[in-house]
Amino acid sequence: MKKHGVLSVFTDNEKVARFFMLMPAFLVLVGILVPFVMGVWTSLTDKKLYATHSNFVFLQNYIDNFTNPVFLTSLRNTLLYVLMAILLQLPLGLLAAALLDIPSRTKGFMRTVLVFPLLIPPIVSSLMWKTMMQPNSGMLNYLLGLFGIDSFPWLTGIHTVLFSLVIVDTWIYLPFVTIILLSGLQSLPSDILESAQVDGAGPIRTFFSIKLRWLKTSILLILLFRICDSLKTFEIIYSTTRGGPMNASRTLNIMAYEEAFRWSNTGQAMSIVFTLWIIAFVVSTYLMGKWNKSGIE
């Protein structure tokens, strides 16, 4: 059956064949490191976008960042955004998943509707919410007015803008959180649940003492995705406030983008991106480690 020839090593030898199967994607993985390393280097220079010459300034860009109040505000906004997003999305996702886990005739329909926000472009969702959040003519303030509540500044208030953006973020990504938690709930072996019922545990106790524990792996995965994605959130902010009003919604990613393409300070921009990258790297490495270990015990 087997052909003999130069090619036979390539096709018949298990190890060689697998090496070649993995190689192309692996090369892309390595290839991506080239611009990345160049970027690290750029962050140590005073490179301008269209200048051909640049000087090595070592850590000066980073030192400038940490003495720049706009950078510190952006850092604070980034972290606050992540924190609010998690605190809003995890409990709501748990509630939605618990509800959808109950057998019901409407389940198929609910699930189809549930995935809408995840599938339409984030820029569409953001602009959609922006129109509804218009302070004078928007739908949301009109609805609040019906209940006699004063109009809310939403994206135009320096104290409300970040929270308003998190609402948009939650609308978009809650389906993802719910899907992961729901699949976690549905993988729960039924004998565990039955033995809890035999022991006389009510639905609420079952949820907290059994289901929540079972969901540990799913929750870690959600933290991993949602923290890392919120850290670098871009499209929602870019298409609505671009960091305003008065830097109140400026995050590191938005600041880096503007620094590069509005002010042409490539070196400075790279130093901001890498500060963000380091945060994302530490968080993702830690959570991926935890996630890998979870469930083995």
Partner 1 sequence: MRKNTGKLLGTVARYVCYAAFLLVILFPLYWIVTMSLKEYKDIIAFPPKFWFTPTLDHYREVLFGGASFSSVSNMPEFLRYVLNSLLTTGSAVALGLVLGLPAAYVLGRVRTKLNEQIAGTFMSYRFAPELAVILPLYAIYKNAGLYDTFIGLILVHQLIVLPLVVWIMRGFFREIPRDIEEAARIDGANEWQIFLKVMLPVVKAGIGSAMIISFVFSWNNLLFGLVMSGGGTMPVTMGILQTMTFDQIKWGEMAAAAVVSSVPGIVIAVFAQRFLVKGLTMGAVK
Among 5, 67, 103, 112, binds partner 1 (CB under 8 A): 112
Q: How far apart are CA 44 and CA 57, in angstroms?
A: 6
Q: Which of 194, 187, 174, 197 is nearest to 217 (CA)?
A: 187
Among 12, 59, 63, 197, interactor with partner 1 by CB under 8 A: 12
Minimum distance from residue 67 beta carbon to partner 1 (Å): 22
Contact between 295 and partner 1 by CB under 8 A: the answer reads yes
Q: What residues from 129 to 158 belong to the interface with partner 1 (CB under 8 A)?
A: 129, 131-132, 136-137, 139, 142
- Tell me how far apart the alpha carbons of residues 104 and 90 are, in angstroms, rounded to a whole number: 23
Shortest Cβ 167–partner 1 spacing (Å): 10
For partner 1, the closer of residues 84 and 256 by Cβ is 256
Region of residue 194 (left: phi > 0; alpha: psi -120 to 50; beta: else): alpha
Residues within window 35-54 making contact with partner 1, judged by CB under 8 A: 35-36, 38-39, 42
Q: Which of 62, 81, 173, 257 binds partner 1 (CB under 8 A)?
A: 257
Residue 201, interface with partner 1 (CB under 8 A)?
no
- Residue among 172, 154, 171, 161 at smallest CA distance from 242: 161
Contacts of partner 1 in 55-94 (CB under 8 A)? none
Determine the residue type at 276. Answer: L
Name 254's Cβ contacts closer than 8 Å, sequence gap at least 6.
74, 234, 237, 238, 242, 243
Among 44, 82, 96, 155, binds partner 1 (CB under 8 A): 96
* Stretch touching partner 1 by CB under 8 A, among 15-23, 59-67, 68-76, 189-197: 15-23
Binds partner 1 by CB under 8 A, chosen from 65, 73, 89, 125? 125
26-55 exposure pattern, b = at least 16 Cβ within 10 A, e = fewer: eeeeeeeeeeeeebeebbbbbbeeeeeeee
The answer to whether the CB of 161 falls within 8 A of the CB of 155 is yes
Nearest approach, Cβ of residue 216 and partner 1 (Å) = 12
Alpha-carbon gap, residue 270 to 65, rounded angstroms:
11
Applying CB under 8 A, among 4, 6, 24, 199 the residue interacting with partner 1 is 24
Distance CA 68, CA 64 (A): 6
If one asks whether residue 260 binds partner 1 (CB under 8 A), the answer comes out as yes
Q: CB of 199: closest distance to partner 1 in angstroms?
A: 19
Q: Which of residues 171-200 bind partner 1 (CB under 8 A)?
A: 171, 176, 179-180, 183
Choices 65-73, 82-90, 189-197, 230-238 (CB under 8 A): range interacting with partner 1: 230-238
